[in-house]
Amino acid sequence: MLLNVTVCCLQDPFDVDEFVERLAWRTTGGTRNAENFDPLCLHAAFEKTIRDLKEMNVSVMKQVEQLEAECNEEEKAHWQRVAKLHEHNQVHCCHVSGCRLGFDVKYTNNTLTTHLV
């Protein structure tokens, strides 16, 4: 059932009414006959699908958190590389032009700061 939930949920845009109708249709076998209708079976199918969706949500949230952590680490490494390149550029710029001015470059709290020294 989880595979069916996954396929239905990945449709864009997601239509909750259509999802419920499809679930009910699959569960009842597509019959509209009141004699063969089993409300307990339909209830069990809805409960299982709700559990499956909750599990899927937990899994997706874990993936999101992992990707956000990776992005944060990559951003931090990027700004550290930028700071090093900036510092390297200042050193070479001053050597070429003979100037004695330089910059103090620091990366803290996701912020690159430079100060004239």
Confidence of residue 30 (pLDDT cuts 50, 70, 90): confident
Average pLDDT for 18-41: 83
Which pLDDT score, from 0 to 100, does residue 1 have?
A: 46
Q: What is the Cα gyration radius of the chain?
A: 29
Closest alpha carbon to 68 in 56, 76, 80: 76
* Other Cβ atoms within 10 Å of 49 Cβ, number: 20
Average pLDDT for the chain: 80
Answer whether 1's CB lies under 8 Å from 51's CB. Answer: no
Torsion over CA: 76, 79, 84, 85 (sign): positive
Q: Is the pLDDT score of 58 beyond 60?
A: yes
Domain count, the chain: 1
DSSP state for residue 1 in the 8-state scheme? -
Which token pair is 17?
Answer: 């009414």
Q: Is the pTM of this model over 0.75?
A: no
Q: Is the dihedral of CA 63, 68, 69, 75 positive or negative?
A: positive
Range in 29-38, 47-56, 80-89 the model is least confident about:
29-38
Give the pLDDT of residue 15.
Answer: 84
- What confidence score (pLDDT) does residue 11 get? 64
Distances, alpha carbon 96 to alpha carbons 93, 108, 114, in Å: 5, 29, 20
Q: What is the DSSP letter of 15?
A: -
Residue 58 domain boundaries = 2-116
